[in-house]
Amino acid sequence: MGSKSNTEALIHPFRIDIAQDALDDLRDRLVRTRWGSEIPGAGWSRGVPTDYLKALAEYWADGFDWRKAEAELNEFPQFTTEIDGQNVHFMHIRSENPAASPLLLVHDWPCSFVQFADVIRPLAQDFHVVVTSTPGTGFSGPLGAPGWNTGRIAGAFVELMERLEYGAYGVQGTGGGAWIVAEMGRQAPDRVRGIHVNGLVTFPSGDPAEFEGLTEAEQERLSRLETFQQDKMGFNAIQSTRPQTLAYGLHDSPVGQLAWIVEKFKEWTDPAAELPEDAVGRDRLLTNVSVYWFSGTAGSSANLYYEAGHDAGAWAPKPRGTVPTGVAVARDTDVAIRRFAERDHHITHWSEFERGGNFLSMEQPEAFVSDVRAFFTTLDA
């Protein structure tokens, strides 16, 4: 039996098919939610407001059509494979364009592969598109063992692309996914031909000279980073230290899971959007939350933060990336500063957008697709 047959034997077709009992259970839990009190007039300052969450939960129970969302996702070919002892779920959409090149898309938390649903078809005009579910998240979950840090996930995705028989390919990562694809470039620079990221986080090294001559916009981003670290990292503190304790509440209460995810969409989407669904659409938002709920991966996705927080090598100095890298920046939300990024990565493309936030592929899908195309076109020039 040839190597291709051996490879094919490791990959299994997958189709989303949530049992009706699970849908009925979800609705029952939603309508029986025990709602607590809140401080009057607090708005979003202390978390998700009760009135807002009640209305969203009611729509999830009696307005949102999971079967429609499920059918839409099932229009894309999906598969699973086991890598390093862990189940990995992915979509694989081959382009009809004979000049197409492979492109791997990597989501971040609190998203899932749903993050890329609106950009797959336009990207497939130019790329063979592979959309992964990060180990421990969605239908790649739950985690089967500890130790799934960024480096291990990157290694698994390098192996996935090898199993798909792609010798050279591009990668795109958002937020936490940007860390993964950058690590893929370090692990396999001979295979990763280009890295495109958005929601990139860049940190100063501590050298005072790095702060000289920062533009007003860059100073604002630096201030935004400091505020984020000080005031908005509560989720990280919990997930990186007590993921199992958190998991009980989120795994048992769909409203708890909903609130935990919706809050991040409120904070990380375009600030011009009054509510999260104004930025990404209510049904798309609930499709993403439903994937977490039905897959039961609140805890295992939180454990990814624990692994990152307890990875001795995570913050150790790393060699500068050598793979050409393109960065898309949402001006009103992102914290990426070009000189910091160029210190760590081989930046060859830099774009800034007036609209959008961390979830650019959901918020501004046309701009996202255009920028990905523009970056990879430069590599072919």
Rounded Cα gap, residues 74 and 346, in angstroms: 37
Rounded Cα gap, residues 139 and 291, in angstroms: 8
Q: CA separation (Å) from 2 to 7, 158, 168, 279, 280?
A: 9, 21, 21, 48, 45
Q: Which amino acid appears at position 158 of this protein? A: V
pLDDT band at 231 (very low <50, low <70, confident <90, very high): low
Q: Which of 188, 219, 214, 201 is nearest to 102 (CA)?
A: 188
Look at residue 4 in the predicted model and tell me its pLDDT: 53
Angle, vertex CA 357, rays to CA 158 and CA 290, nearest 5: 70
pLDDT at residue 303 is higher than 50: yes
pLDDT band at 5 (very low <50, low <70, confident <90, very high): low
Look at residue 233 in the predicted model and tell me its pLDDT: 79
Task: Tell which wins on pLDDT, 245 or 313.
Answer: 245
The backbone region for 370, taken as left when phi is positive above 0, alpha when psi lies in -120 to 50, beta otherwise, is alpha
| 37-49: average pLDDT | 94
Look at residue 289 in the predicted model and tell me its pLDDT: 98
Reduce the DSSP state of residue 204 to 3 states and report it: coil
| Cβ atoms of 89 and 115 closer than 8 Å | no
Look at residue 9 in the predicted model and tell me its pLDDT: 83
What number does CATH give the domain 3-35+45-380?
3.40.50.1820
| Cβ atoms of 281 and 61 closer than 8 Å | no
Look at residue 312 in the predicted model and tell me its pLDDT: 86
pLDDT at residue 3 is higher than 60: no
**Backbone CA torsion sign across 140, 144, 150, 156:** negative
Reduce the DSSP state of residue 203 to 3 states and report it: coil
Q: Which residue has the tokens 């791997």?
A: 104
User: Of 37-46, 85-94, 111-120, 228-237, where does mean pLDDT reach its minimum?
Assistant: 228-237
pLDDT tens, residue by residue, 58-87: 999 999 999 999 999 999 999 999 999 999
Percentage above 90 pLDDT, the chain:
92
User: And the tokens for 19?
Assistant: 């049992």
pLDDT at residue 1 is higher than 50: no
pLDDT at residue 305 is higher than 80: yes
pLDDT at residue 28 is higher than 70: yes
pLDDT tens, residue by residue, 176-210: 999 999 999 999 999 999 999 999 999 998 899 99
